Structure 1
Amino acid sequence: MKQLLVAFLLFPLMIWSQSSFDAAEKLFKEEKFDQARPIFENFLKSNPSNLKTIEYLGDIAGRNKSWDTAINYYKKLKQLKPSEANYYFKYGGVLGMKARQVSKFKALGMIDEVKESFEKALVFNPKHIEARWALIELYIQLPGIVGGSESKAIKYSNELMRLSPVDGYLSRGHIDEYFKRYKVAEQQYRKAITVGGSKVCYQMLANLYKNKMGDPEKSKSVLEEYKNKKG
């Protein structure tokens, strides 16, 4: 009887707690992050191991470029559920963003952990698209002396090609664009448009024309092509 009474008294609190989470989640999805954050933080006090709440708070911190805060949230997620690929991917991402803001010497000490985080994401989810994109970006931007490698970037691009042809062509075009092989990049983006035809495909080709090949008219034409296709 006593246990039943306790459960009866706690039930309204449980309902209120869940409704507060739902309210915060709704605000998050509406991109009202500053309003969602304090509600999530309050919810976390009584639900300290709620994975989704911690992830939302990490995402909000990342959007606000509060890298240390985001790192701590994602690190906690890895501890609570060490087999979830996305937690390693997000942890590696915010760690990489922090590395861009610290001294070059300190950044060098962080690179291995960034890379290992993305690679760990692939261990737990061999089909993880975003982790491969992150590794491609890492390998093309790093100087060769500290582990940069176009051949490794191409390796992950080839893996993307097998998993998602449109990502394969886009990633290869991105690599070619980075190394100023603009004509080759143009061909790869065109292939991506043929295979996928998404706004991203057209936008990457348009950006190439406008920002790298000095042809704003072609850029405009590509965007018109997408607009007409949608219409």
Structure 2
Amino acid sequence: MKRLIFFLVLLPSLIFSQTNFEKGEKLFRDGKYEQAQPILENYLKENPSNLKAIEYLGDIAGHDKSWDKAIGYYRKLKQMKPSEANYYYKYGGSLGMKAKEVNKFRALGMIGEVKESFEKAITLNPKHIEAHWALVMLYLQIPSIIGGSESKALKHSNELYKLSPVDGYLSKGQIEEYFKRYSSAEVQYKKAIAAGSTKKGSQMLTNLYINKMNQPEKAAKIKI
């Protein structure tokens, strides 16, 4: 009887708490991050182990470019559930964005952990397309002295092709464009469009024509 009374007393607060989470979640999914944030923060105070609430708050922090906050949330997630690939991917992504804002010396010290986070995500989930994409771009952008390499970028581009031909062509196009092989990049983007990437592929091809190849007349013919 005492247990029943305790449960009945506790029930309203449980319902209220759950209602708050659902409200915050709906606002988040509707893109109303500023309204969702305080609701989810209050919910998390009472439910500190709720993974979705932590992830939503990390995503909101990332959207606001509050990289330190995002890093903190994603670090907590990967500690709480180390088997979830996406947590490592998001942690590596927020850490990488932070590295772009600090001085070069400090950034160099962060790159290793960024790379390891993306690689861990792929170890946990070899089909994690976003993590493969992240490594393509990372290996293109970092100096060779700390591991940057076209061959390493191409390796992940080939993995992307196995998972999604569209992503394979787009990533190959990015590699070709990075090394100023613009005609080859054009071919890859056209292949991506033919394979089904009508919007993203068209945007990349348009950008290539306008900003790299100085061929606005070709860009004008593309339907996005």
Asked if Structure 1 and Structure 2 have the same fold, meaning a TM-score greater than 0.5 normalized by the shorter chain, the answer is: yes
Q: Which amino acid aligns with 1:35?
A: Q
Equivalent positions of 1:4-43 (< 5 A) are: 4-43=4-43
**Aligned residue number for residue 99 of structure 2:** 99
Q: Deviations over 1:184-208 (max 9, x none)?
A: 0000000001111331111111111
Q: Which residue of 2 aligns with 1:46?
A: 46
* CA positional deviation for 1:218: 1.3
Say which is worse superposed, 150-159 or 199-208, in terms of deviation. 199-208
Listed as ranges, the matches of 1:66-85 within 5 Å are 66-85=66-85
Return the alpha-carbon distance in structure 2 between the equivalents of residues 211 and 23 of structure 1: 44
Match of 1:154 in 2: 154
Shift of 1:99: 0.5
Q: Which runs of 4+ in 1 moved over 6 A?
A: none
**Aligned amino acid, residue 204 of structure 1:** M
Structure 1 residue 171, shift from structure 2 partner: 0.2
Cα separation, 1, equivalents of 2:117 and 2:70: 15
**Unpaired runs of 5+ in structure 2?**
none
How far apart are 1:129 and its partner, in Å? Answer: 0.2
Partner of 1:229: none
Mapping 1:109-128, distance limit 5 Å? 109-128=109-128
Identity %: 66
Q: TM-score, normalised by structure 1?
A: 0.95
Q: Over residues 17-49 of structure 1, what are the superposed CA-to-partner deviations in whole Å (9 max), with x where a residue is unaligned?
A: 111111111111111111100000000011000
Higher mean C-alpha deviation, range 192-201 or range 84-93 = 192-201
Q: 5 Å matches for 1:140-151?
A: 140-151=140-151
1:219 CA drift (Å): 1.2
C-alpha displacement at 1:61, in angstroms?
A: 0.5
What corresponds to 1:55 in structure 2? Answer: 55
Equivalence for 2:173: 173
**In structure 2, distance between residues paired with 1:191 and 1:41:** 45
SS at match of 2:222: helix
Q: Distance in 1 between matches of 2:73 and 2:103?
A: 23
Could you list the per-position Cα deviations for residues 58-111 of structure 1 after superposition, in whole angstroms to 9, with x for gaps in the alignment?
Answer: 000011111111001000001110010000000000000001111111111111
The Cα shift of 1:10 comes to 1.1
Counterpart code for 1:149: S
Query: Corresponding residue for 2:198?
Result: 198
C-alpha distance in 2 between matches for 1:163 and 1:80: 29
Partners of 2:113 and 2:95 in 1: how far apart?
8
Letter matched to residue 197 of structure 1 = S
Query: Whole-Å Cα distance in 2 between the matches of residues 219 and 3 of structure 1?
Result: 71
Whole-angstrom CA distance in 1 between matches of 2:119 and 2:198: 28
Matches of 1:26 and 1:220 in 2, distance apart? 39
What corresponds to 2:87 in structure 1? 87
What is the aligned residue count?
Answer: 224
Q: TM-score normalized by structure 2?
A: 0.98
